[in-house]
């Protein structure tokens, strides 16, 4: 999943693709580099970010969605927690709603996703982007995320969303400390027991900078290390900025995971 932020203030690429032509060109390059899904966001969810109204969010994303839907075969995801934005994006050609609130921010979101038969990514976040990193606290971060996401999956199914249309995301960096993020990544296999495809987004995030003392633009190596560990531990979808290198790292990690699983099955037999 290639990240396409058409915002002026996202933490990594804010402003780079706010121009529609630049955004469309970037999406097409990500597809060439190996992306299967383009995740388009018109509102920053970086720590401390404020809200953007639906009209502005739609002004940013709809021209890009329409162009990609007509000019490419990309699977298009809309990164939003607003049902009105999701509806317009789905009508314009998007097929997935990536909701950082796991459909809790807008009571109309679940019905909207169900109406369109769309895919949905349910993410865990403690708090809101404006204050989520102030002082995140958990008794057991992994079990609390598992319980929350299981509940949200059940809610989605009850709302009429097919189980096979639902993916889950532990929300690396969304109301988590560096230690929390590492605990999640080390225990991703617990999340796979929920039974839904597992998406992980750690590309260029702050905890990588803390661990490596690197700036946002110099976090590719750390991102690839985290991606490799995530895939080995069960992640099936990686949300990334740097598609080409990430595709290669993910491909190798997936191949190793497959061989590891095959070997384990042979040993049991």
- Yes or no: say if 113 and 106 are a contact pair by the CB < 8 Å rule: no
Is position 237 within any domain?
Answer: no
Is position 15 within any domain?
Answer: yes
- Residues marked active site are found at 205, 239
Q: pTM of the prediction?
A: 0.91
Count, residues in the chain:
269
Quote the distance between the C-alpha of residue 60 and its chain's center: 19
Token digits of residue 71: 């000019």
Is position 82 within any domain?
Answer: yes
Is position 43 within any domain?
Answer: yes
* Residue 15's pLDDT band (cuts 50, 70, 90): low
Tokens 């384990």 -> residue: 264
What is the structure's pLDDT at 269?
63
Give the CATH number of the domain where residue 158 resides.
3.20.20.20
What is the structure's pLDDT at 136?
85
Residue 42 is part of which domain span?
2-189
Is position 63 within any domain?
Answer: yes
User: Does the structure show a pLDDT above 90 at 157?
Assistant: yes
Question: What's the total number of domains in the chain?
Answer: 1
Is position 242 within any domain?
Answer: no
Please state at what angle helix 54-71 crosses helix 83-92, rounded to 10 degrees. Answer: 20
What spatial distance separates the first Cα and last Cα of the chain, rounded to whole Å?
36
Q: What is the pLDDT of residues 193-225, one digit of tens each?
A: 999 999 999 999 999 999 999 999 999 999 999
The burial class, CB within 10 Å (0-12 / 13-18 / 19+), for 145 is: buried
What is the structure's pLDDT at 243?
98
| HSE (side-chain half, CA atoms, 13 Å) at 38 | 30
Mean pLDDT, the chain, rounded, equals 92
* Helices (H), ranges, 109-193: 109-116, 141-158, 178-186, 188-192
Is position 244 within any domain?
Answer: no
pLDDT above 70 coverage of the chain, percent: 93
Of 248, 240, 253, 126, give the one whose Cα is nearest residue 188.
253
Q: What is the pLDDT of residues 84-142, one digit of tens each?
A: 999 999 999 999 999 999 999 999 999 999 999 999 999 999 877 777 777 889 999 99
Q: Backbone phi, then psi, for 225, in 5-degree steps?
A: -65, -45
Q: Rounded distance, CA 152 to CA 213, Å?
A: 36
Token digits of residue 227: 């991606």
Token digits of residue 59: 């002004």
Is position 51 within any domain?
Answer: yes
């Amino acid at each position: 999943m290639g990240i396409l932020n058409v915002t002026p203030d996202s933490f990594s690429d804010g402003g780079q693709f706010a121009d529609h032509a630049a955004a469309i060109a970037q999406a097409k390059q990500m597809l060439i580099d190996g992306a299967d899904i383009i995740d388009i966001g018109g509102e920053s969810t970086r720590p401390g970010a404020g809200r953007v109204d639906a009209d502005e969010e739609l002004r940013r994303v709809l021209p890009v969605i329409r162009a990609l839907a007509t000019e490419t075969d990309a699977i298009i995801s809309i990164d939003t927690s607003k049902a009105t934005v999701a509806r317009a994006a789905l009508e314009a050609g998007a097929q997935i709603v990536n909701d950082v609130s796991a459909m809790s921010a807008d009571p109309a979101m679940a019905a909207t996703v169900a109406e369109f038969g769309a895919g949905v990514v349910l993410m865990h976040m403690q708090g809101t982007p404006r204050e989520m990193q102030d002082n995140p606290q958990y008794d057991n971060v992994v079990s609390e995320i598992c319980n929350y996401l299981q509940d949200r999956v059940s809610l989605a199914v009850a709302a009429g969303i097919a189980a096979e249309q639902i993916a889950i995301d532990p929300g690396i960096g969304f109301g988590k400390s560096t230690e929390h993020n590492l605990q999640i990544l080390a225990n991703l296999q617990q999340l796979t027991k929920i039974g839904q495809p597992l998406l992980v987004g750690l590309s260029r995030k702050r905890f990588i900078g803390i661990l490596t003392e690197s700036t946002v633009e110099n976090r590719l190596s750390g991102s690839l290390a985290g991606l490799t560990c995530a895939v080995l531990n069960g992640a099936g979808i990686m949300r990334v900025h740097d598609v080409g290198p990430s595709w290669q790292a993910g491909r190798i990690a997936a191949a190793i995971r497959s061989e590891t699983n095959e070997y384990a099955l042979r040993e049991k037999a």
